[in-house]
C-alpha cells in the first residue's frame, strides 16, 4: 500500500481556509483519492476536548497553551493521521505545527527552538508533504474574522499579535520553500483556487506515478 500524502492549510484569521479546504477535498475526490479532512487543535476526541480549553480559556500561560496543543497533537497523529496515511488515504489538516511556531512562537514569544524540540520529540518524523499558506494583510483577514459571531480568543487578539503571526508564516515559507507554498489570498477566489489546483495536480501526478 502506497502511503498517502499529508497536506496542511495555514494562514492568519479570516483568510478563507474553510472555503479552500472544501475545494481541496473536492479536487482530490475527483482524482479518485480517499481523503480524510481534519483540524488542529482537535481532530480526535481527546484533542477536541483540549481544543475547547485552548480556544476558550483566557488564563492560560503561553507555555501551558503550547503543551496542550502538543498533547492533542500526539493523539491526533497516532490515532488518525498516521493510520490514515498508512491506509493510503490523503490527510488534509486545517492547521498543524507551523501554527505553533506562528502563534505560540512569534505571537506569544516562545523561542522557536523549544517548539522545535517538542516537534522532533513528539511527531516521530511526521511533517506535512505540502503546506498551503493562505496569505493576506492582517487588516483584511481580521475584519472578516471579526464579522463572525462567537470569536475565539485568538480572533480577538490585537493587530500587532496577528502581524507577528503573519511575519512568522512568511519566514517559515522562506525557510521551507519546497514544502510551504504561499498563496496570495487577496485575489479573487477563482484565481486562488486555480493556483491551489495547479499545485495539487503536481503532487497527485507524482504520487500516481510513484
Residue linked to cell 491551489: 196
Closest approach, Cβ 104 to ligand TMP, in A, equals: 6
Sign, CA torsion 28/29/30/32: positive
Please check whether residue 138 is in contact with residue 163, taking contact to mean a CB–CB distance below 8 angstroms. Answer: yes
Q: Closest CB to ligand TMP among 5 and 95?
A: 95
User: At closest approach, how far in Å is the CB of 162 from ligand TMP?
Assistant: 10
Contact residues: ligand TMP, CB under 6 A: 39-41, 55, 69, 94-95, 99-100, 103-104, 152, 154
Minimum Å distance from CB 5 to ligand TMP? 19
CB of 122 to ligand TMP, least distance (A): 12
SS3 for 61?
coil
Distance separating alpha carbons of residues 152 and 56, to the nearest angstrom: 6
Of 33 and 157, CB closest to ligand TMP: 157
Nearer to ligand TMP, 33 or 65 (CB): 65
Phi, psi of 91 (to 5 degrees): -110, 125
Q: Is the Cβ of residue 20 or residue 100 nearer to ligand TMP in the bound state?
A: 100
What letter would DSSP give residue 133? E
Note whether 203 and 210 are within 8 A (CB). no
Q: What is the CA radius of gyration of the chain?
A: 16
Amino acid at each position: 500500500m502506497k502511503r498517502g500524502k499529508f497536506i496542511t492549510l495555514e494562514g492568519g484569521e479570516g483568510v478563507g481556509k474553510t472555503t479552500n479546504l472544501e475545494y481541496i477535498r473536492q479536487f482530490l475526490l475527483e482524482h479518485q483519492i480517499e481523503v480524510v479532512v481534519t483540524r488542529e487543535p482537535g481532530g480526535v476526541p481527546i484533542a477536541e476536548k483540549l481544543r475547547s480549553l485552548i480556544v476558550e480559556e483566557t488564563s492560560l500561560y503561553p507555555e501551558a497553551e503550547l503543551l496542550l496543543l502538543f498533547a492533542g497533537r500526539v493523539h491526533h497523529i497516532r490515532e488518525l493521521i498516521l493510520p490514515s496515511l498508512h491506509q493510503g488515504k490523503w490527510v488534509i489538516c486545517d492547521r498543524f505545527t507551523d501554527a505553533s511556531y506562528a502563534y505560540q512562537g512569534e505571537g506569544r514569544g516562545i523561542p522557536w527552538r523549544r517548539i522545535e524540540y517538542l516537534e522532533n520529540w513528539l511527531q516521530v518524523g511526521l511533517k506535512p508533504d505540502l503546506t498551503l499558506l493562505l496569505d493576506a494583510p492582517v487588516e483584511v483577514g481580521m475584519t472578516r474574522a471579526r464579522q463572525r459571531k462567537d470569536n475565539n480568543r485568538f480572533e480577538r487578539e490585537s493587530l500587532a499579535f496577528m502581524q507577528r503571526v503573519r511575519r512568522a508564516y512568511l519566514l517559515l515559507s522562506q525557510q521551507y520553500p519546497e514544502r510551504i507554498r504561499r498563496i496570495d489570498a487577496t485575489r479573487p477566489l477563482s484565481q486562488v483556487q486555480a493556483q491551489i489546483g495547479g499545485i495539487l495536480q503536481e503532487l497527485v501526478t507524482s504520487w500516481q506515478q510513484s
